[in-house]
Each structure stands twice: as structure tokens, then as C-alpha cells.
Amino acid sequence: YRQSARCFEQVHKFELALKMLCRGGLYNEAALAVERFEEILRQNNHLFTKLPYSADQFRLEAAAMCLRENKLTEMMDSLSFLDPEDRLVFLKSNKCLSQAADLLKSQRREEEAALLMREHGKLQEAARLSNKKEFQAECLVAAARVSLLKESKGEEIDKEGIQGMLDEATRLFKIRKQNSSDLAEAMLLKGLLSKETNVLQKAFDIFVRENNSAGAVESLFCLLQKDVAALSIFERSLTCLEMLMQLVKALANPQNNAEKEMVKACYEFFGISPVNATYGRIPLYEGARILQLDFSLDLNEKQGSFYKCEIKPVRILLQKYLLLQLCDLADKIKSAGQSVPDICPKFICGLPCESPACQDHHRTLKQYEAKCSLEAKLYLTVLNGILLEAKRFCYKETFPEVERIEDILTGDPYASCTSLLNAFYPKHFHQWVISKNPRACWDVLGLVKKITFQSFRPVLREYISHCFEYSSVQKRRESTDLWMQAQQVYFLTCDYPKKIEDLLTKEEQAYDSERRKSGKGTDVQAKRRRPRIPKGKLGMLSTRSLHLCIFRLLVMSMKNFYEDSDPEQCIHNFYRFMNVLTRRCLDPLIPSMANTITVLEFQFILCCSVLMHFIRNLVVCLPRSFIALLHYWNFMFKLQVNPKKHKDAFSIINEYKPKDVPKTIYKMKKHLSYLVKVLCGVHTSDFNVLLDAFNDPDYTSSGEAERTVVLCVVMLINAKYLLDPRMEKVIRCNFREVENKLRKITQDHESKVPARLIDLVEQVNRAQSVKDVVSSLQELLSKRGDEYLHDCIWKWDHPFGPGSVRGIYFQSIHAERFTDEYQIKTDEIVLMLDEEHGSPEVAQYLEEKDDNLQDMAFELQKANLRRKWQCLLHVISVCNYLRKLWTQAISEATQPKTEVPSNFREAQTDETQCDICGVKFSRGSINYTDFCQEPECEETANRISENWEETENEEEIETSYSRECFETHIRLEEHIKKENAYNAYLIYFRGSVEPIMSKGRSMLHHLGEMATDHLTSKELSKVLYEKLQSSIDVIVHSIDSIYNQKTWILGQEILSQKIDLLQEIVNDADMRQKQTLCLTDGVEANQSAVDFEEGLEDGQENFDELRSRKKRKGGKKKRKH
């Protein structure tokens, strides 16, 4: 071949001479020949004649041939003639890593060498080469991750060496103080290696603070594997679950900047680098977590040291994995929550517990035990909400995990809500340890106010909406129990009284609307048929203008006391409410036993407190649980009304200044006597609460009967000072009937009747004096809950400080003061009460004549009218807003659109975070605290803090805090400067960066498809392709760095040199491509080359370097040479 080439050279057939040298694999000689031929052409004045090949092309082919033959020294000799960049690209593309690194180090480009080592899995060497602390730490963490992956497969690893790497990585991350998620991952791996739970706990806390849901979930699961007891910290586990659910939804459709950041952090944690909205890359050698999941993922296509993947299937895979994690964690949380011991339901009702499997307490709860029990039920309600949210998000076609979620919910989707309500509003007596004073209330019950979980309040609201939705129209309007259930729920969600008033208004308006429709029609029609009465009439009160729901009277009663500070109006509206129930006395209007006793107990203790305040030296004997009840309701009503107007019951009573004190005292005593009449069925025998409590054995086994009896006995021992003298006989007479009923229930259902209740009833009936009744009641109280009777007086100390009393002051009871003996035995009592039993028609007439009721209807009408005006104004403002939007849309449509460049990383600002400054608007955010140092922002923080003290509603506070921080932040001078710099950077990017990057990507596509019809084009194309790809990657990395570090002002400075280099590479590639295309179009040269190849192919070995990739369609022709 060498001789043939010389022959062709002598006749100036230079191209054929080069082909002959290539046939012989003499690429270095071909390179020298090209230089020689170019010199000959120049000497012969053939300045415009160009050879189709260059010396560099042949040297690349020579290097490639030496590499195939494993002659590395000769390869480097061939490459030594090339430009360093071309050399580097060749070595990289052929994975000659050590040679490429040596070359980079010789040019003092250690950072590039480190990056090269990292891309190809030489992670520790990459860390040694780099001087960037963050890069070093990332490499060490990746190396540790790879080692731990090997350990999970059963391979031996150097644990001490890995521990040292992670310690060094942690130290480096702490120095940099930038991305805390990286530090958390290092600590997570340390915890996995050392099995130290405190390290895993720290990693979890950092992930949560950084809003990195994926990292938090992984940390929690690792923590639970090492320490099962960690599950008992429900707040941590549920925080993680809620973050997990937010991430699952954000992966499908991120709604704001915070969710976009969460998704980005998730991809980073699992080792996914999105290239664009469709495709991403996964590193081969860094132990990416996505590759460790037990899911099938199509990763057949490789790009260098990365897998190419589609984002959509990866996203669905991550969602499935996270949902499985959610199910596993939810199952464990549910088991742990249900295993928290409560007080045994049989024990608290005085019944023997015969179940050997019962894990509950069979004694009175201590305060911290009551707190743990209530909080466990509250956390289970949070879990309930998260699971329902997950169930709504999933659909069986894509996520079969929904079936497992349904299994965890166990059929009843709101079982936890029901359990929570039963815990806060039990049927049995109130446990005084829960609310023995205001501080205990905040300690035991305070979590319901302070809870931050986003799913807690929505699931309770959803539960009561579900109850109303699936109730009949009649039940919605008449059922007192349904309305009281709604009231209880809205206490817990901090929506009282607004939500309950909205519900009442809705039902009242619907009833009036139906009534008007039924009244319409011609006179003939009216004569032929009776007008149809709307359903739910019993639950409505008729006024001259509209109908009011009966339950509104109870709502108004509580509003009168806690908001208007008017105890007299409070008891009046309660009387109106209870009077309707007793007069109409039909189901479902009659409330349950527990609900009835609940409201009667509150009215009793309220009246007692008012009387103690106004009657000097009045001593009332009360159980400790009754005093605790007032603290309990103070807590439940606190902040439900206007926070600025709110006062507790004691302050309201102390500040109440009636015009006529004796009249107020008379009203209170009369009201207490009325409560006795309600309890004992004086108004109507069909509404006798005390006797009804013994009509069903379930009442005795649930504690409702005992609760009723205790209330009656407390009234009995205070009858001399508080009640009408006749009421004592009424109570004692009813107790005679109670004993008869109790005896009958005991015969049929002995296991459902507590012995202590039987003893109390019998002892009260056989008591010779009030002192005997007091002794009997004290005995029962001590048995059921270590509770005592107390002598209570009113006391108000000034000033208020430690040890001072404001309200009810209680002390040990002095039983000696109850010296009165009963003159008549219980069996001998004969009642002669003159009570008016008016007909329902008379009662309805009295209702319509009630001025208070008419005033209430008038106020409601005004409120409805105000609401309609507000709706109208809202509609008008929305219409104006839509008109402006329409005008703006038209003007924008007529103007040329300025879209954000495809290669640009856009930064946005919303109420969750400012991407321009890197600030998060969330409570307690360290980033925001550090950033906002200006006085204006400090004032905002103070104002929010004050608002927090007042409202204590976490949802409203968080929203208010974020909104005010956002509005304050965007006015800061620092933000305005960065925003201007960002806009300038965007303009520069759109004009100078985007066109060149687009052209570069287009050129990459062409180089990948470029035909290799000519000698040496293969290696040249590879070099050009790699140079271009490397340059684009460097620019993309710089763009990401500018975004992450928010260095918008330096954007042009950072990118300008790199863009210039990319422009040169694009121009060079374009020139080479055009040159190749021109040669392809040369018919003579091409035909000659084809004939020459065919001639040489006869009887010769196959040479890949000279074989044309295009097949000739025509037949063979004779050789010319």
C-alpha cells in the first residue's frame, strides 16, 4: 500500500494516495502525506485546491487504531500532534480516564479532571482532585452511597473508611452552609452505617426544615427500622406523612414555587436530573436511589455515564413507591395510636372488666395519661384525613395501592373522627383531671388549638358535611343531636359560631323557600287540596317575618354569655330552647341523654357561679368535676367568638353589673328550679330526664344514667340555698321511681348496672338528712374517679398573681353544716304542683309573641340582607375583574408574545417563596429570618406574632404570615435590586445565549445523523459531537449554578466566555459539515472512490476505515486503474 501510494503521489492523484495509505492502516503516514501534499499544492500555485481530508483526521484515526490494539503509548504519540481540546475529547469519548485526567492536570484544570472522574464513577479520586468543598462532599457522599448499596447486596465493605468519608463530607457541608439537604443525606448515610438513631433523627429534622419530603420519608423509615419506639412520636411521623402526600400530589401537578422546589428536591434525592419537561438523566456510577427501587424502569438508552429516562414513567414510579411508603407508615401509626392506653370504658362506668386482653387503665388517669390518650385520638384523626386525601388522589387503574388504603380505613372512613368526638364529649361523667384549671386545659386539650397538620380540620369538616348530606331533610331541620354534633365538630375546628350559623341559615332559607312554593297556587287549587307542609316543621320556630331553627336559640344563648357578657339573656334563650323541646317532645327533636345532661350541667354551674358572686357568703357544694366543667367550656369557647371581645366565664360574671341585683338573683334561682323541673318531668311526663335515664340498660352501662343521678343529687344537697323549696320533694319523689326502675333493670341486665349506682340511689332514698346524701355522693365520687365534694365560694383577688383566686374558690367540704333532717320519708312524699300544660297551639302563639324571638328574627333578616348585598358587590367586583382580564388578554393577544427561552431556568415569586431571592415565606423559616433584616420586615414579624397570640388558629396564622411576609418582601430594596438584575439577565439570555444554544443543539442532532461517506469522518464527527455536547453541558451547569446561587447580576459575566467558546465550536462543526457535504456532492470524486473501493475489495480483506456506508444501487463497473 505504501508503494501504491507513492505511485499515485507521483501522478498527483493525492486523494487516491491517501486512500491507499488508509487501506494499509498507515494513518500517521497519511497525516504526514497530507501536510506534504498541501505544501506541493501551495508550491504549484494551486491555492484554491483543497484536499478533502486534514492531518488531524488521520491522526485521530491512528489513535483510534492504536487504542483498539491496546498500544496506549503510540496512541498518545498520535494525539500529541492535536489540539489539547481535541485530544481531551478523544480520550473522554474512548474512556481513557487516567490519560484524560493527566492531560487536564498538566493544563492545571483539576476541577474538570475531578468532574470527569465523578462522571465515570471514580468518586474518591474526584474528591481528591477538586478544591471545591461542596463538590468534594458530594463525591464522598456518592461514594458512601455506592458502598452501602454493595453491602445491601451482601458484599464486604470498609465501614471505617466509609465512616471517615461521611465525617469529612459532613464537615465540608457545614463549612459551605448552602444546601442543608446534602448535609441531611450525609447524616442519613452515617446513621444507616452506624445505626445511631440520634443521627437519623437529626437527618430527618433537617429534611423537614428544608421541605425535602423524599429525604424525610427515607429518614423516618430508616429510623423506625432501628428504633420501633420512635413511632410513638406521632407528630414526627404524621409530619412526614403529610409531606409525603404533598409530594405525591406535587409530582402530578405542582401548584406553586414551594411545590416545584419540593419536586426538584425529590428528583435530586433519587438521583434524577431533568433535562427538560420530557426527559431526564440518571448517573450510572453514583448509586442513584431510583435504580434501587423494586420497580421495572426502562433504562436501555445510555448517554455517556448516564441513563436516559422519560420523566412521566419515572414520576408515576415515584408516586407508586411513595404511596406504598405511605401505606406502610400509616399502618404502623394506626397500630401505635390504637395501642395508646386509655381509661377502660367499663371501669369508668363502674362495671367489672372481664377481658384479659384489655390494655387500658383500670384506675383514674393521671393528667399526662389523659393527655396522651386524647392526643393519640387526635393524631389518628389526622391520619384519617391524610388517608382520605390519598384515596381521593388515587385511581385503581394506575395506583392499585388505593385498595390497601381502603383496608387501613376499615370500611368506615370517619371512624377516627367519631372516636375523637367521643373522647372530647363523652357520655359518662367529665374527668376533672383534664380541666382542673386553665393551665391543665392548655396542657391536655391545647393541641386541638395548636395543631398544624393541614388535614386535621378539613377531615372533621368533611365528616360533619357527610353527616348532613346523608341525613334526611326532616332530620337536618329537627334533630337536636345532629346540630349538637355539628357544634362539637366546629369547636374542634375553630369554626364556631360562623359555620354553624351558616348551616342554620341555609336550612332556614330552604324551609321558607319550600313553604312559599307550597303556598302558591290559584284559589281553586287551594280549595281542592290541602297545602303541603314542608318537612321539618317541628324544628322551626315561626315569627312574623321568617322561620328560625330551634337550635339557633341554644347558639344565641352561648353567644349571649361568651360574646355579649349577658348571663340573664343567656339563661332566657336557653329556657326558650329547652321549653320548645319539652313542649313538643317528639323524636328526633329530643336530644340524647348525654347531650341533654351536658347542657343542663353547664346551665347549673353557670347559675351557681352567678349566685355565688351576688349573694354574699353563699356556699355551694359542688363536685370537682363540675368546677372543671366550667374551665373546660371556657377553653372550648375561647377564641370561637371575636378574640378581642372574649373573656372567660369568671371574668364575665365578675364584670356583670345588672340594674336590679335582687331580680337577677330571683331569675337565676327560678332558672335552677326550671332545670329541676326539666330533669324530673314536671312540665310533661314524657320529658323526664331522670326517669328516662333508666328506661334503657345501655344508659346505665354507658355512664349516662349515673351522670344524670349525680346532677340531681348535687341539686338536692344545694336545694335549701338555690332552689324553690318544693323542688327538693320533686327530686326525692323521682328517686323513688328511679329505684324501682333500677331494680327491674338489675333483674334483667345485671351486668349492665354498676353497683356504685345502685348503692347511691338506695342510700339517697333511705337518707335521714342532707348530710347522709352528701356522704353517699362523696362515696360514689371517690369510687369513680378519686373525686371529692367541695364547699365553693366566690373570690376575686386584686391584684392577680401567684396563689390568688379569681372565680370559684373551693375547699374541703364541711359536712357538719348539713344538719337539716328530712321531715318526710321518700315513700311518703306527695306532689301537689300546679303546672300549666298548655297545648302546642298555645305554645306556638307564645313563641310568635316572644319579643326576643322577634328581635332575633329581625337581626337575622338584617344579616341575610347584608350578606346578599355583599354577594352582589362581590359579583360586581368579579365582573369588573373579569372585564379587566378580558381587556388585558385582548391587548396581550395583539402584542408579540415574549416567551421564556427553553434553556432558561425561570424564577418566579408567589406567596410560598421567592425564587429570585431564594426566600421561603413560611413560619419559622430560617432563610426568611436571615434575609429580612430591615425594620419594615421586623415590624411585620412583630405584628404577626401579636396576631398569633390572639387567634392561635394555625391555618389562618400560616396564611396570614405567608401573605404579609410576601407583601413585605417584594417591597424590600434588596428584592427590587435582584429582580432588576434577574430581568437584565433574562434579556441577555434571550438575545445572546438562547440562539447559540439552540443552534448548538441543532448541530448535535445533525452530527449524530451525519453520514460517514468519506475517510476519517467517523472519528472527526465523534470529536466534534463530544466537544459540542461538553460545551453545552458546561453552560447548562452554569445556568443551574446561577439559579441556585441567585447570582443574576453575574449571569452575563459567567456565561459570556462559555457562549463564545460554544459559538466557535458550532462554527467549526458547521464548516466541517459543509465541507463534507460539498465533497459528497462531487460526482466524479465520489464515483472514482467507489470504483476504486470495489476494485480493491476483490480478494482483499475488509477495511472498515475505507468502506463507504452508502451502498451503490447500480451494477459493478470496471476499474479504471
- Neighbouring C-beta atoms of residue 715, cutoff 10 Å: 24
Tens digits of residue pLDDT in 331-347: 999 999 999 999 999 99
C-alpha cell at 951: 387567634
| pLDDT, tens only, 767-784 | 888 999 999 999 999 998
**DSSP assignment of 492-545:** HTT-TTHHHHHHHHHHHHHHHHHHHHHH-S-HHHHHHSPPPPPTTGGGEEE-SS
Residue 801: pLDDT band by 50, 70, 90 thresholds? Answer: low
Average predicted confidence (pLDDT) for the chain: 82
Pull the grid cell for residue 1043. 439559579
Q: What is the mean pLDDT of residues 610-614?
A: 94
Q: Which residues pair with 812 in a beta bridge?
A: 790
Identify whether the C-beta of residue 932 lies closer than 8 Å to the C-beta of residue 938.
yes
The pTM of the full predicted model, rounded to 2 decimals, is 0.82
Answer whether residue 396 shows pLDDT above 70: no
Is 70 exceeded by the pLDDT of residue 161?
yes
Q: Helices then strands (H, E): number in the chain?
A: 51, 11
pLDDT grade for 642, boundaries at 50, 70 and 90: low
User: Pick the residue with more confidence: 618 or 847?
Assistant: 618
Q: State mean pLDDT over 306-317.
A: 88
pLDDT at residue 987 greater than cutoff 70 = yes
Which contacts of 448-454 are long-range, i.e. CB under 8 A and separated by 24 or more positions? 448/378, 448/424, 448/492, 449/494, 449/639, 449/952, 449/953, 450/952, 450/954, 451/378, 451/382, 451/954, 452/954, 452/958, 453/238, 453/239, 453/242, 453/382, 453/385, 454/242, 454/955
Tell me, what's the pLDDT at 70?
Answer: 86
Q: What are the pLDDT digits (tens) for 499-515?
A: 999 999 999 889 988 88
Helix (H, G, I), strand (E, B) or coil at 881: helix
Separation in Å, CA 127 to CA 122, 144, 162, 612, 1085 = 9, 12, 14, 79, 53
How much is the pLDDT for 1099?
37
Angular region, 1016: left φ>0, alpha ψ -120 to 50, beta rest: left
Q: How far is CA 778 from CA 237, 348, 785, 822, 963, in A?
A: 44, 16, 11, 19, 56
In this prediction, residue 45 carries a pLDDT of 63
DSSP structural state of residue 619: -
**Residue 949, pLDDT above cutoff 70:** no
Read off the pLDDT of residues 228-242 as tens digits, 9 standing for 90 and up: 888 888 999 999 999
Give per-residue pLDDT as tens, 173-204. Answer: 888 766 688 899 999 999 999 888 899 999 99
In this prediction, residue 763 carries a pLDDT of 93
> For the residues 259-264, what does the mean pLDDT come to?
90
Would you say residue 634 has pLDDT above 70?
Answer: yes
pLDDT value at residue 412: 84
Q: What is the mean pLDDT of residues 43-67?
A: 74
**pLDDT of 939:** 38
- The pLDDT value given to residue 231: 81
